[in-house]
Structures are given as structure tokens and as C-alpha cells.
Chain A
């Protein structure tokens, strides 16, 4: 019956004659027109499938995971609001509309991270995510205004057309792209605005899978692919994008190696993989043989976004199943031996881990290959990317060895049992995606296979496979049979002390601004403008008050002095 209905819907859509663009006027002020428009082609098709597929699976998983939650209706409202906002970003045909939905995504993310708002940590994390994102969004807004100032339009197609005419200032374009990239830095949690994402794991785990792994954080990368034509003509900004991505990938991977919370390990892993994607898209502006890499680079970044959505959502939902089974325990050192108690979850989690590590023939292998092929244009970034690939395999193996193998390290792990079937269905569907998303038939309907860069020969894939295997072997032998972290590295466990540094900087900056505000208020506003007038009147009054003594002789004396003064002035004036 479902199949018949689905077939009918498909026929209906085909018969109605699809178009890939449609819009209506929303605001018209003098020459400025703002449309609500929908544009759907190429990578947008892939993105909308990721959003609706992962979104539906997360809804399904949540039916089991949030079964006993008191705020279930509020939670599902938040999920639906997020779906609306995210589809709006994907469909947007202009920057202004994208920005509106961009902000709505921020709001729904805030609501979902703070779902358990009675927990102080969750409320703080929601606030942090909201505020940090606003910093990036402010840059995005400036970027949109610069684009509008330069081209007189915010519509993607119109801007591209005007850009091709060559009538623009390259310096201004670089600044515009950089400002727009600030939005991606915030939303895709790139250095230095990455600090909100690990804290956002305070939200329910299905939210982490949907928003903080597969879709919202990928919105930054998707947005960059939409403004690809700008990046191609802004080589300086493109270089910044490449290096910000590479640095994020490296720093996050290093931090992931020393985390003990299962969700935080996955959060840093997400940061690292987003760094990969951003780095690849940045190569769009790199000149290679006289031409910018353009679409080739952006397709590589998006391809990794596409495959990553499947295996990372699977990892997060898998971690949710583990946390659910272990009575909400999140510390990996209190787990262990779960492979015997949660066979299906363990199997799906291990498949996703192998895909993330880039093991042939899983999806991650192909997308990582595509990114490294692009990165090969800059040897330094290729080296960083390869090292990150090693670290990825290493920290994921560490996680799996500690969680699934060895003996149970707490009663919660001992009592763990497989989750209900309703929660297993999304895991199994995503496992299929994690295995096959990298195959041509799974992506060629939105981007032709020839448009995705593939390495020439077998040298690069072999090297990358060897790197991944080395990471797995190192992780396995270093953590096999361990009951606690055997090699503590404080600087990595404390995340390079970035949170502490930010706290100090925020306090210093806040104190400095407060001091300047206080001085302006006390000296200029209070001292001069408000109290200055009153004090002047008081002082003059005090002087004049001396004359009103009530002494008759004194008044006669002053009268005499006055008369003499007037006579003297008249005399002086006459002659």
C-alpha cells in the first residue's frame, strides 16, 4: 500500500511538470526587491535528501528514546521547527532568505540543546551555542550587505551573472567572501568559534545526531557551495577558508584523542570532519594551471558532507542507544564488553567507525579520497589531512576498544541490553547508507560521478588506507584491556585550554568595556551634561547668596559702590 501511494505521488509530481526554480515577491522598497524563492538543483538535491532522510530517522529513533520524557511534545515541536528552518536554507534562492532561515535554525538549535533546561549545564550550553553563533552570523550579515552594496542584488543567479561581467572590486569581493565565511565559521563550528559544539552535546542524543552531526553544522559547508562562484574569484578569502578548515580538522582530531565522554569524542570528530569539508571547498578559489578548481573542489567537500551525514548520524544514534542501554552513562571508561550484550548496535557502530576511518569499500573511503585528491594541490594541507586521517582512525578505535571489548567496568554496562526494535530500525537504515553512500549509484542522481575528483592511480588510496590501518592498529594495541586512560595528555584533555582562555579574554574585554562605559557615564553624562548644569546654577547661586545678607548698611554700601561704578563708566564713555 505504501509502495502504491509512493508511486502515485511520484507520478503526480512528474505529471505536474517540475521546475527547479520558483519565487514570489515578498518585499519591494524602491529599486530593492526581496523574493521568497525556491531553487533546487545539483547539490541542493543531495542536501534536501540528507535533511529529510536523517530527519525522519531521527524522529523515528526519538519515539523510543524520548518515550518517558516529560517534555516530549516540546521536543518534537523543536524537531519540526528545525526541519522547517533547515529545508528553508536548502531551498533559498537568495542570501536574505537564507539568512532568515539560518537564524531560525539557530533558534531551534537553542531550543533543542536546552531541552532539559532544568539542568544548569544544558541551559548554559544552549546560551553558549546561541551567543557564539551570533558572532559568526553578524559577519554573515555584513557579508550579505557588502554583496548587496557591490552588486545591487542578493539573488544567487543574478549575482553570478553580474560577477561574470567582471564589474567588481576584487578587494571588496575578498572581504565579502570572508564575512560570509564568518557565518560558516559559527554554524559549522570552525576555529575559533568551535567551542559551542562539544558543549551542545548536553542536548538529547538524537538532536546531536540530526543537528550537530548531519545537517545544521553542515549548513555552513552547503552555504559555501552555494556561493562558490564568489569564492572562485576571491583567492585570498579562499586561502583563509582552506587554512581555517585544515587547522580545525587538526586541532579537533587531537582533542578527540583524549576525551572520555562518548558524545564529546563524536563531537570533536564532527568538528574535524567539518574542517575537512571546509578545507576542500576553500580549494575552489585555488588557481591550478591557470584555472580555479571551482566546482571540482566544492563537489569533493559536499561529497564528504553527504557520506559523513550517514555514518556520523549512525554513530550518534548508536551512542544514543548505548547511553540509553547503560542507564544514561556517557563515560567510556565505565562501559566495556558491550559487543556481547548489544550485538546489532555494536555491529552498526563498528561499520560506521570503519566508514569514518576511511576503510575500503565503505562510503568514507571514497569521499576522503576525493578530499585528499584536492588537497594534493597544496602539500602542507595534504600532510595535515593525512595526519588527521591517522588520528581519526586512532581515536575511533580507542572508543570502540574501550566501549565494546574487554570486561564491563560498571554495573550500568553489566546490565546493558539491546535497545527496542523501533530504535534499531534507523541504525540499520543508516548502516546501509554508511556502506553504500560512496557508490556511484547513490550520488550520481544529484552530481555526476565525473564531476567528483578521484585520485589518478592507486598510490594515494593505498597510502590513505595504510594510514587508516596504522591508526586502527595503534589504537587497538594501546587501549586493549585498559581500565583507564593510560596516556593522559592534559593539554589535549583540557582542549588546549581554549575555554579558559576565552573566559579570561571575555572577562578582560568585558571589564575594559565596562570601565570605559563607567568613565563616560560618570565624567561626561553624569558629571558634565546632567549634573554640570545644576552645579553651575548652584555655584552662581552661592556667590549671589552672599549679597542677600539682610544687613541695611551692607545694601547701602553696595548701592553706593554701584552708583560710583555707573558714574565712572559714564565719565569714561564721555571723555
Chain B
């Protein structure tokens, strides 16, 4: 379930990072959020693949 917790918490870290850079480096904030969303998607695809073998 570590992966699931990472998927859950990664966007929250992105929010925290964005708050640090808010107004100063807007582009950087946008890239951090997008990167976190991309990592979540990749992890989800892996998670789905791993779990679907077990439960479905």
C-alpha cells in the first residue's frame, strides 16, 4: 500500500511546494503540479497492473 499512499500524498506535497513558490516562480509551480500528476498517473498504471492480477 506504500504506492497508494504515495499517490495520495504526492499532490499534497505539490501544494506545499507551490505555496513556497507562490507568486515568485509561477511557472515552476505549474511544472511541479504537472510533474506530480504525471508521477501519480505512472504509479497508478503500475498499481492497477499489479492489483488487477490479484483481485480481478
Interface set of A (CB-CB < 8 Å, partner B)? 5-6, 9-10, 12-14, 16, 18-22, 38, 40-42, 45, 48-49, 52-53, 55-56, 59-60, 62-63, 66, 72-74, 76-77, 79-84, 87-88, 91, 444-448
Contact = CB atoms under 8 A, between A and B. Distances in A.
Contacts of A77: 14-15, 18-19, 22, 29, 33
A448 B55 CA distance: 11
B1 A10 contact: no
Contacts of B52: 45, 445-446
A91 B3 CA distance: 12
Contacts of A444: 56
Contact of A20 (B7, B26, B41, B51): B51
Interface residues of B, number: 44
Contact of B37 (A14, A52, A446): A52
A82 B29 CA distance: 15
A314 B33 CA distance: 21
Contacts of A9: 42-43, 46
A52 B7 contact: yes
Nearest to B47: A13
Contacts of B5: 22, 38
A54 B26 CA distance: 22
B30 A22 contact: no
14 contacts: A9-B43, A10-B45, A20-B51, A38-B5, A41-B55, A56-B34, A59-B38, A72-B29, A73-B21, A76-B14, A76-B32, A80-B15, A81-B12, A87-B7
Contacts of B41: 52-53, 55-56
Given A77-B19, A84-B9, A42 B56 contact: yes
B30 A62 contact: yes
Given A21-B1, A59-B34, A49 B40 contact: no
A76 B56 contact: no
Given A49-B48, A72-B27, A76-B29, A56 B4 contact: no
